[in-house]
Amino acid sequence: MIDITVPQDLWDTEDEGVIFVWIYADGALVEQGKLIAELTVEKAQLELTAPASGRLKILAPAETIVRKGTVIGRIEPP
């Protein structure tokens, strides 16, 4: 099991972002490295990829405000 954390290097500033959309539904099987969510930070749509393969557990739904380091989900065993 591994946390899905908003990466520290996803954007440069300390601004907050918001989860715009989860590409996969809660419980879906996802592959490591594939796009699983889009975040909006200022005037940019940023891509969040799966840190591991497994079953997606969404903890923070779309429209949640996040910071770098926020845990927004988990990859659980398939």
Partner 1 sequence: MAQEAPSSGGSSRTLTMARAGREAVIAEMRKDPNIFVIGEDIAKLGGVFGTTVGMADEFGAQRVVDTPISETGFIGIATGAAMAGMRPIVEIAFVDFIGVCFNAIFNFAAKTHYMSGGQFKVPMTMMIGYGGGYNDAAQHSQCLIGTLAHVPGIRIVTPADAHDAKGLMHTCLRDDNLTIWMVHKAIWGLGWLGTAIKTAMATVPEEEYTIPFGKARIWREGTDVTLVGYGITVHHSLQAAEKLAAEGISAEVLDLRTIVPMDRDAIMKSVTKTGRVVVADEDYMNCGVTAEVLATIAERNPKALKAPAVRVANPDVPVPFSRPMENFALPDADKIVAAAIATLKS
Q: How far is the CB of 37 from partner 1 (least distance, A)?
A: 10
**Site of interaction with partner 1 (CB under 8 A):** 18, 20-25, 28-31, 38-40, 42-45, 62-63
Q: How far is the CB of 55 from partner 1 (least distance, A)?
A: 10
In the complex with partner 1, the residue whose CB is nearer, 22 or 73, is 22
Radius of gyration of the chain (CA): 12
Main-chain phi, psi angles of 26, to 5 degrees: -55, 130
In the complex with partner 1, the residue whose CB is nearer, 24 or 68, is 24
Structure tokens at 13: 């500033």
CA nearest to 22, candidates 2, 5, 42, 39: 39
